[in-house]
Amino acid sequence: MPNTINSSIVERDPHLDTSEILLQTIVVAIDFSPHSTRALKEALAIARRFNSELLLVHGTTPALYGTEPIPIECLDVELDIARNRMAKLIASEPELQSFSHREFIAFARAVDLVQQVVNENKADLVVAGSHGARGVELLALGSVAEAILNDVSCPVLIVGPHCIPEAHPFRSILFATNLEATGLRSAQFATAFAERFHSPLTMLHVMEKKSPKSEIEDELAEDHARLELFRLLPDDLSTYTTATVRVEHGKPGEIVPEVASSSHASLIVTGFGPNSSLRDHSPWSTLSQVIRQAPCPVLSIRSHLV
């Protein structure tokens, strides 16, 4: 059941202070598919709010010509084709001219080039598109998003197949956590966005199983989860917006998108750590389910820096 929070009624220990989140540099992974086009539109909507610089990244691998060395002329042609496609993509988004933007096109594995650009430019966010056919491991850019989630501290926004980019990407925020390894750092992002944009915030924890023993144990477990969710909220949040706590029962991969729909969320924020159920391998089972079904983008944040 949802509970609207009054921050004065519960003792707060540990205390969470919200610091300002600045998304000054955004990397957009481009493979010229419709999925990466949606990702670019979402990146533009975010850049509009933060006046961000956009870095458009496309890694291409040359076609093989048997065992013979690839003629340099063929490499040049393939790079020219990629540059022309990037130019057409940029021309199709006139708003890009309003922002500082750069293009990075090279012969490289897409994941390697994305990570290189992230590291060299100290990027604050990566945006990638997903077709969602069989989970995160089959994103529109192959293993790019999976590798980024694994290896970089930079948050990653994944635009799934059912996302429709909108003008205000922070209109309503859903924070989903398993309360084990996905809480503090991702909660800081969710609450910071909610405060900055005065966005309604829903705090969600999904309990996968009810106790077979007694309803009292269930109630105690739910009360404990609500208290833990509340402790992730800053004291001054009610000055800027409202927060609602929800504890639900079921499979997180199904419940999170359902709650996102019912709460009209424009963004899902979640975290993952080494033992997170949002990152088990199945290892991407829950997270990939959320991405496949979510009506809005999913912002994934590591629980610790790398």
Between residues 7 and 88, the one the model is more confident about: 88
pLDDT for the residue 136? 45
> According to the model, what pLDDT value does residue 133 have?
55
pLDDT at 26: 97
What's the mean pLDDT in 216-224?
A: 84
For the stretch 110-123, pLDDT in tens is 888 988 999 999 99
Domain, as residue range, for 126 = 25-159
What is the pLDDT confidence band of residue 20, given thresholds at 50, 70 and 90?
Answer: confident
Confirm if 173 and 269 have CB atoms less than 8 A apart.
yes
Q: What is the model's pLDDT at position 296?
A: 96
Q: How confident is the model at residue 64 (pLDDT cuts 50, 70, 90)?
A: low
Run of H or E residues at 175: strand 173-176
- pLDDT class of 145 with cuts at 50, 70, 90: low
Both 128 and 173 in a single domain? no
- CA 61 – CA 10 distance, rounded (Å): 56
Average pLDDT of span 8-36: 73
Answer whether residue 51 shows pLDDT above 50: yes
* 3-class state of residue 290 by DSSP: helix
Cα gap 173→194, rounded to integer Å = 7
Is 42 or 144 the better-scoring residue by pLDDT? 42
Domain count, the chain: 2
Digit-coded pLDDT (tens) for 236-295: 888 999 999 999 999 999 999 999 999 999 999 998 765 554 444 444 568 888 888 999
Q: Same domain for 251 and 295?
A: yes
- The last residue of one of the domains, among 159, 184, 216, is 159
291 & 194 share domain: yes
Query: Between 98 and 304, whose confidence is greater?
Result: 98
224 and 296 in a common domain:
yes
pLDDT above 60 for 15: no
Please say if the pLDDT value at position 221 is more than 50: yes
Among candidate residues 188, 141, 206, 255, the one with its CA nearest the CA of residue 16 = 188
What tokens does 110 get? Answer: 């897409």
The answer to whether residues 132 and 34 belong to one domain is yes
Residue that wins the pLDDT comparison between 226 and 14: 226
Determine the Cα–Cα distance for residues 151 and 267; give it in Å rounded to an integer.
23
User: Where is average pLDDT lowest: 19-23, 48-52, 178-182, 187-191?
Assistant: 178-182
**Average pLDDT value for residue range 204-230:** 82
Confidence of residue 65 (pLDDT cuts 50, 70, 90): low
Give the Cα separation of 135 and 289 in Å (integer).
7
52-65 mean pLDDT: 82
Is there a single domain that holds both residue 176 and residue 95?
A: no
User: 120, 142, 159: which is the final residue of a domain?
Assistant: 159
pLDDT confidence of residue 18: 58
Indicate whether 56 pLDDT > 90: yes
The arrangement of strands across the sheet holding 53-60 comes to 2-4, 243-249, 201-207, 173-176, 267-272, 298-302, 156-159, 125-129, 25-29, 53-60, 101-107
Pair (281, 193) in one structural domain: yes
Which of 159, 180, 203 is at the close of a domain? 159
SS3 101: strand
pLDDT at 68 over 90: no
- Position 255 scores a pLDDT of 95
Average pLDDT over the chain reads 81
Same domain for 114 and 173, yes or no, is no
Lowest-confidence range among 13-17, 153-157, 241-245? 13-17
Out of 42-46, 49-53, 230-234, pick the least confident.
Answer: 230-234
What's the pTM?
Answer: 0.86
The two tokens of residue 144 are: 């790019």
Q: Residue 247: in which H helix or E strand, if any?
A: strand 243-249
Could you tell me if 53 and 150 lie in one domain?
yes
CATH number, residue 41: 3.40.50.620
Examine the domain organization and report whether 11 and 29 are in the same domain.
no
Verify that 173 and 275 share a domain, yes or no: yes
In this structure, the answer to whether residues 173 and 268 fall within a common structural domain is yes
